[in-house]
Structure 1
């Protein structure tokens, strides 16, 4: 990573079927558009990434593993022709265990993909069915073992906690299954349901029970203890890693550093501007097929006060929190002076703690992080 390098995110809004909890921009049953999408993405890469240096690259979705190896190669060739991937760049590829089969994994590994993120979510058959996942637990374990056999030595697993009808013991069983595989990285996400998702409607109609916040909190706290004993560092609110395997790409977001997001619904943060591509697949394709970049759906300049607030809020997600020295170097302001009443209040509530010239969330603060974050907003 250098002072001038960025993180690059590529969004692939395609999936075989929409999961019941998913509110991300993705289009089931539109795979016929994938070849045209790759062509348009290459045009956007040439237009917006030319000459830039990237320390990380992230294939996200949707389901990037629906791309053929030749399409992955085409995209990487476009990036390497137009821009500069640093020699030690972290290149992450999200994959759905339900779409993986040999020889896919060794083929994408040979192209330079060096980090794999497997969306397992659960090892319970009943929970996977409820979530609308395409794979079962056996397929998840098989995909992981095939990834190891393909030579991947940096694998992250995603799990969801706070599921309807789940308990602390059932979640511990899921976590034990994940730990038995010994991944380098584990992400745990609490289930949240947006109004436009099928699971939200099922809860509203009484077909599924409400999410139990107390059970979710107990599951999270259990994970903190179990993963710490297993040698994983809780380096960010939702993420644990073995030493040296923290996500370099996601750290760029949490440190509020510049990144470029390409593809439909891609988001960027460049020179203090927040930009977002159109989330419409048809608009994205139609515009780029006519060599006309789509009009950004979001184009917001962050003034100094908002930059400072976002940097503090994002930085507090990290276990190290923020330091007064870093904030002063970046913004010319001393965080302890500017936010003294807020810091004192949150410290008194047991949500923040002061240490080494900075502040960080307490274990209680991680559970109630939103109670801290809103207090720093302008």
Structure 2
């Protein structure tokens, strides 16, 4: 990663089935559009990524593992032809365990994909059924082992805590199952339900219980203890890694550096502008098939005051926090002077700790991070 390099994210808005908790932009009924989408994405790559220096690529979704190996190769070739990939570029591929096989994984590895992110979510079959996942726990373990056989030595596993009916004991069993696999990276996400998701409606109708915030907090604290004991570095609020395996792509976001998001619903922050692509698949395809770029759904110039606030808020998500030296180097201002009242209030509340020009969240602050973040908004 250099000062002038970017992270490139590509969104693949296709799924075999929409999970009950998912609010991401994806289309479970338009798989016939995948070939056209790949062709349109290549046009967007040509227009927006030409000449850029990249330190990470990220295939996200949706379900990128619905792409054929030849389609992945086509996209990779398009990027490599017109962009400069730094040596050791991190190339992450999100995958649903229910869509993978050993031959497929071997071909991905052969194409230069060097980081795999598996959406396990739970090792309980009952919880996987409730979530609407396509795989069961046995498949998840099997595919993980297949990924190792295919040569992947940098694997992330996603797990959800705070699920309806889950307990501290059931979540401990999930964590134990995950630790047996010894992934290099672990992402834990608390369940949040948007109003348009099926699980939200089930909760509203009383078919599922409301999530217990106290149990969710206990599960998060248990994860901190178990993962630390297993040798994982808790480097970001929701992410743990073995030393040297922190996600370079996601660190770009948390450090508020430049990134480019392509495809439907792709978000970018580049040259002080925040932009977002259309979420309408048909509009995206129609425009690019006619060699025109769809109008962005968001196009905002981010002034220095907001860049500073966002850099502090995102930086506080990291275990190392925010240093006065880094902020002064980027913005020419002293964070300790500018935000003295906010910092002192959070320190007194036990949400922040301050030492030698560095501020960072306390363990309590990580649980109540939003209570800290809003105080830094302009």
- Fold match (TM-score > 0.5): yes
Q: Per the alignment, in what secondary structure is the counterpart of residue 57 of structure 1? A: strand
Once the two structures are superposed, what CA deviation does each residue of 1:300-353 show, in whole Å capped at 9, x if it has no partner?
111111000000000000000000000001001100000000000000000000
Give the deviation of 1:29 after TM superposition.
1.9
Measure the CA separation in 2 of the matches of 1:2 and 1:322.
19
Tell whether the 8 Å contact from 2:102 to 2:150 is kept in structure 1 after alignment: no
Q: Secondary structure at the match of 1:103?
A: helix
Name the counterpart of 1:215: 215
Shift of 1:141: 0.3
User: What displacement does 1:273 show?
Assistant: 0.7
Deviation at 1:125, TM superposition (A): 0.5
TM-score normalized with structure 1 length: 1.00
Q: Does 1:196 align with 2:196?
A: yes
1:366 corresponds to which residue?
366
What is the deviation of 1:82?
1.2
Partner of 1:159: 159
Q: CA RMSD in A?
A: 0.5
Question: What secondary structure does 1:318 align onto?
Answer: coil
TM-score (norm 2): 1.00
Please list every run of 5 or more consecutive structure 1 residues that lacks an aligned counterpart in the other structure.
none
Runs of 4+ in 1 over 2 A off after TM superposition: none
Aligned to 1:46: 46
The aligned runs of 1:104-183 (5 Å cut-off) are 104-183=104-183
CA distance in 2, matches of 1:271, 1:358: 27
Give the deviation of 1:3 after TM superposition: 1.3
Residues 1-378 of structure 1: pairs in structure 2 closer than 5 A: 1-378=1-378
Inter-partner Cα distance in structure 2 for 1:367 and 1:158 = 19
- On the 8 A contact 2:235/2:241 being kept in 1, the answer is yes
Deviation at 1:231, TM superposition (A): 0.2
Q: Which runs of 5+ in 2 are unaligned?
A: none
State the number of aligned residues: 378
Q: Distance in 2 between matches of 1:255 and 1:337?
A: 21
Query: Does the residue aligned with 2:60 lie in a helix, a strand or coil?
Result: strand
The Cα of 1:356 is off from its aligned counterpart by 3.3
Distance 2:102 2:309 in 1: 46
State whether residues 161 and 220 of structure 2, in contact with CA within 8 Å, keep that contact through their aligned partners in structure 1: yes
Q: For residues 333 and 87 of structure 1, what CA distance do their matches in structure 2 show?
A: 34
CA distance in 2, matches of 1:249, 1:11: 14
CA-to-partner distance for each residue in 1:211-256, whole Å, 9 max, x for gaps? 1000000000000000000000000000000000000000000000
